[in-house]
Structure 1
Amino acid sequence: MTPPSTPAGGDARHGGVPHRRRVLLPLALAQFICSFAGSNMNVMIDDISKDLHTTVQGVQTAITVFLLVMAALMIPGGILSDRYGRKRCLVAGLSVYGVGALLSAAAPGLGVLILGNSILEGIGTALLIPPVYILTTLLFTEVTDRARAFGAIMAMGGIGAAAGPLLGGLITSALSWRAAFVFQALVVLAIVLLSRQLVDPLPADPEQEFDTVGAVLSACGLTLVVLGILAADNNLWLMLALLVAGVLVLVWFFAWVRARERSGARPLLTTSLFRNRTSNLGLITQHVQWLVLMGLSFVVAAYLQVVRHYDAIKTGVIFSASTFGLLVTSLGARRFAERRSPRTLIMAGFATTVGGLAILIGFAHASPSVWSFVPGLLLIGLGIGVMLTPAVNVVQSSFGEELQGEISGLSRSVSNLGSSVGTAIAGTILVADPAIGPYGVALVVLGAIGLGGLVAASRLPRGHPGQRS
């Protein structure tokens, strides 16, 4: 099925470059602010814990729950986008996100911060992110154009994640950590205004069946797994119980999905999504990319503030090395896509990232200088930026338009699950005693996981993803 041309809606295929930029701007900014929210709190750990009379572990919990809510609800968010319309869900998600940001800015304690930042902003993100990727896939049908569009969006997402510590540090030092949430609300307002020019290329399908039981089972299963990882530093038996419970609920979810398919009912996810080998490998690489990026961000930020006693702005400035690297390679996404296959780019990205982690461990351990973090972080930024776009393009291009709602939700869920698991794993290792020992161990674990991503990338097809229409 080919989406109809829309004269005002930004069917990018029939517009010029300025028109495409107008279409992409709100979509890219939406990805930017959500990624920014996932990492900017890392440099506020000290300030928030003191102001709200909580601990580093309490702030880690708020960060992880935000990422977890996104991951748990992203799949239902993709289905709701098809049912109620991509633009409508985008604006609704932005509105919920904005309310959560303002509530977080006024939070008197950790509980309200978790409600505003972790719950409301997480729900808002789960509603608004799937439409970003569905609209991009529908509007940009040529392989190179789609690569360029995803490159712009993933560049903004990567920059948001990498620049979160720097911008968060600047705002926190100049004003307060609360002002960073006001900044988010203002950006969201700007996106809502910019998105008025968007018109959905496909009509909504309000009669589409929604699998409520499947949504609950998938969310509960993912939540239990991540909570199990978080419990590792407190109670080994609780950790095992939560992990086992999470796995059992996810098995129940897949059994439910198969039963609905056999009965002719529409499940939350069709099992055909998991029969595409290329897409499965792409999802693994996406998961590992965000796991490493967000895990690294939390580990380094916590270490710099708790062990080296750097303030928010100094911590943020150090992270500018990874921001610069990610920006350089993300902006070259289209040129890279034209010259190299996704497999080559993703493998090169993982190799560079793991090399950066090795340098970070060696230099930071050997030297007390602030500059010792720069070479490793720069390489990590370059590596992540190279592979973000081709990994997304591989997954989205593996399916036709009729499955874009489901695969977009699954893709973003897998990526955000990687973010939450990365923060949980790194924080579990580091938070009990964030000295140089656990710091190094956390980075070694992230490096080992990155090597797993490299292995998965090596099994991708050598050619370019085919265009589906």
Structure 2
Amino acid sequence: MTVRSEGSSRGMLAPLALAQFICSFAGSNLNVMINDISRDLDTTVQGVQGTITLFLLIMAVLMIPCSKLTDRWGRKRCFLAGLTLYGAGALISACSPGLAVLILGNSILEGVGTALLIPPIYILATLAYDDLASRARAFGLISGLGGVGAAAGPLIGGFIATAISWRAAFVFQALVVALIVFLSRRLADPLPPDPERPLDLGGAALSAVGMFFLVCGILLSDDDAVLMAVFLAVGAILLTWFFLHIRARERAGRDPLLSTGLFRNRTSNLGLVTQNMQWLVLMGTSFVVSVFLQTVRGYNAIETGVIFTGATAGVLVASLAAGRLARKHTQKALIAAGFALTVAGIVVLLVLVGQSSRVIAFGPGLLLIGLGVGVMLTPSVNVVQSSFPEDLQGEISGLSRSVSNLGSSFGTAIVGTILVSRAAEGDTAYAFAMVALAIFALVGLAAAVALPSGTRQPGSP
């Protein structure tokens, strides 16, 4: 395999990075349209929250099985199939007459499409470069645009929803997908597909259903404590069964859904924790602030979206500086600094918003959170992906993206449950949700501090 020229690399990375951007955008842009969608479709905030969470959950539970499909079907074929499903889901969502059709289009079709197209993004970027420094720059561009998509989702979505309609935001997604398909026409798959590659269907079912029960248990926490406990217990049992299942297949010499060796790498495990926590905090903050502004402060979609300018600017600035930072600091230091900035941002949000009702009170905190997330996105991906050889890139890519999207699901589910359960308390509900996010950010900080000291950005001195 040879390292691509700068021009061809740029052409290859453009559709991959843009695809990561639109998938991250889809996970956060609906947050500012909650009131509009609720009124138009005659549903509730909880109904829209469930739609958003289900989209993120379907991504998470199918990411690992879909990463294995890339070996059987080919990476480019999976990428284009995912884009097709995603585009169809966006158009169906734009025409939704009710919540059920929105769930079909946004949660199911877009969710499945995203699960198909995300693993090839990171696998293709990994296989395209033998040079670790070039690979790191590719991850930086892709991860950076993913962070920008998540942070800018409320701003762009709010502008479109206010200027035209919330439905137009889905048309925008479909148009971006069409552009990605056009840009992908010269995208080359470096490895041929292997149709005979076995697929562990039992493992896929156990992992998907187990994670589904786990997140649904969190969503049910305010409705029925007994039912919540049952769902959480079933989820834990199924995931334990999944691990025993893949270990038994491995010992029998059969191809498991995931190699158990992926879980024996301490550096990768800690990196996965940081990925989970950073997306939990980012998506959780987006949801909390958006719901609070719309349901308590009475802001419309564009007013809510503009408030997230600070977070968007923070991610952009940090992403642009990622290369220089990587040459001067270890990945461990960058991830730890990112979580420290994020915790500081949450504290500032709590203090300023509690003392002032002015919109500017949200700016400094969201800026710090955006800077923190932007600083740690790329090194977190590099820590995990670079811990394994090329023959395991498909598996670790699927696991990494699954863990990240599971964090997004947890963020929306956990803080959404807190907000809904304390909806009548207004500012108090907001404070409780933000404190919960601060605790998760501290968990991420602890995992970053525990990373081996020599963990450096690939290609750095």
What TM-score bracket applies, with the shorter chain setting the length?
over 0.9
C-alpha RMSD of matched pairs (Å): 1.1
Task: Give distance in 2, aligned partners of 1:70 and 1:156.
Answer: 18
* TM value normalised by structure 1: 0.96
Task: Give distance in 2, aligned partners of 1:311 and 1:181.
Answer: 18
Report the AA paired with residue 438 of structure 1: A
Q: 1:14: how far off?
A: 3.0
Task: Give distance in 1, aligned partners of 2:179 and 2:144.
Answer: 19
Q: Retained in 1: the 8 A contact 2:133–2:458?
A: no
Q: Does 1:404 align with 2:393?
A: yes
Task: Give distance in 2, aligned partners of 1:42 and 1:295.
Answer: 10
Task: Give distance in 2, aligned partners of 1:65 and 1:14.
Answer: 38
Specify which of 249, 257, 274 is matched with residue 268 of structure 1. Answer: 257
Q: 1:77: how far off?
A: 1.0
Change over 3 Å in CA distance of 1:245–1:389 after alignment to 2: same
Report the AA paired with residue 4 of structure 2: H
Q: How does 1:164-175 map to 2 (within 5 A)?
A: 164-175=153-164
Q: Does 1:453 align with 2:451?
A: no
Helix, strand or coil at the partner of 1:269: coil
Provide structure 2 residue ranges, at least 5 long, that are not aligned to the other structure.
Answer: none
Task: Give distance in 2, aligned partners of 1:419 and 1:104.
Answer: 21
Q: How does 1:371-410 map to 2 (within 5 A)?
A: 371-410=360-399
Q: Retained in 1: the 8 A contact 2:345–2:366?
A: yes
Structure 1 partner of 2:311? 322
Q: 1:464: how far off?
A: 3.8
Q: Does 1:224 align with 2:180?
A: no
Specify which of 32, 41, 58 is matched with residue 43 of structure 1. Answer: 32
Q: Does 1:215 align with 2:204?
A: yes
Helix, strand or coil at the partner of 2:220: helix
Task: Give distance in 2, aligned partners of 1:46 and 1:302.
Answer: 9
Task: Give distance in 2, aligned partners of 1:458 and 1:33.
Answer: 32
Structure 2 partner of 1:89? 78
CA deviation string 1:152-199 (max 9, x = no partner) = 111110010000000000000011000000000000010011011110
Structure 2 partner of 1:349? 338
Task: Give distance in 1, aligned partners of 2:456 and 2:401.
Answer: 19
Q: Does 1:67 align with 2:76?
A: no
Helix, strand or coil at the partner of 1:43: helix
Q: 1:467: how far off?
A: 6.4
Task: Give distance in 2, aligned partners of 1:323 and 1:163.
Answer: 5
Task: Give distance in 2, aligned partners of 1:139 and 1:336.
Answer: 24
Report the AA paired with residue 113 of structure 1: L
Report the AA paired with residue 240 of structure 2: V
Structure 2 partner of 1:133? 122
Counting matched residue pairs gives 457
Which has the higher mean CA deviation after the structures are superposed, 325-334 or 371-380? 325-334
Structure 1 partner of 2:288? 299
Structure 2 partner of 1:248? 237
Report the AA paired with residue 279 of structure 2: W
Task: Give distance in 2, aligned partners of 1:333 and 1:80.
Answer: 32
Change over 3 Å in CA distance of 1:363–1:52 after alignment to 2: same
Specify which of 278, 282, 294 is matched with residue 267 of structure 2. Answer: 278
Task: Give distance in 1, aligned partners of 2:251 and 2:12.
Answer: 40
CA deviation string 1:316-336 (max 9, x = no partner) = 000011000001001222221
Q: Retained in 1: the 8 A contact 2:213–2:232?
A: yes
Q: Retained in 2: the 8 A contact 1:144–1:337?
A: no
Report the AA paired with residue 347 of structure 1: A
Task: Give distance in 2, aligned partners of 1:174 and 1:400.
Answer: 48
Q: Retained in 2: the 8 A contact 1:397–1:466?
A: no
Q: Retained in 2: the 8 A contact 1:89–1:128?
A: yes
Task: Give distance in 1, aligned partners of 2:4 and 2:244.
Answer: 44
Report the AA paired with residue 379 of structure 2: P
Q: Retained in 1: the 8 A contact 2:275–2:380?
A: yes
Q: Retained in 2: the 8 A contact 1:62–1:118?
A: yes
Q: Retained in 2: the 8 A contact 1:32–1:156?
A: yes
Which has the higher mean CA deviation after the structures are superposed, 251-260 or 342-351? 251-260
Task: Give distance in 2, aligned partners of 1:140 and 1:58.
Answer: 44
CA deviation string 1:284-337 (max 9, x = no partner) = 000000000001100000000000000000000000110000010012222211
Q: Does 1:98 align with 2:87?
A: yes
* TM value normalised by structure 2: 0.98
Helix, strand or coil at the partner of 1:458: helix
Q: Retained in 1: the 8 A contact 2:379–2:457?
A: no
Specify which of 422, 426, 446 is matched with residue 433 of structure 1. Answer: 422
Report the AA paired with residue 33 of structure 1: I
Q: Retained in 1: the 8 A contact 2:326–2:457?
A: no
Which has the higher mean CA deviation after the structures are superposed, 194-203 or 276-285? 194-203
Q: 1:263: how far off?
A: 1.1
Q: How does 1:173-188 map to 2 (within 5 A)?
A: 173-188=162-177
What is the aligned-residue identity percentage? 63
Helix, strand or coil at the partner of 1:207: coil
Report the AA paired with residue 451 of structure 1: L
Q: 1:460: how far off?
A: 0.8
Q: Retained in 1: the 8 A contact 2:4–2:129?
A: no
CA deviation string 1:18-53 (max 9, x = no partner) = 322111100000000000000000000000000000
Q: Does 1:14 align with 2:10?
A: no
Q: Retained in 1: the 8 A contact 2:288–2:415?
A: yes
Q: Does 1:422 align with 2:411?
A: yes
Q: Retained in 1: the 8 A contact 2:161–2:169?
A: yes
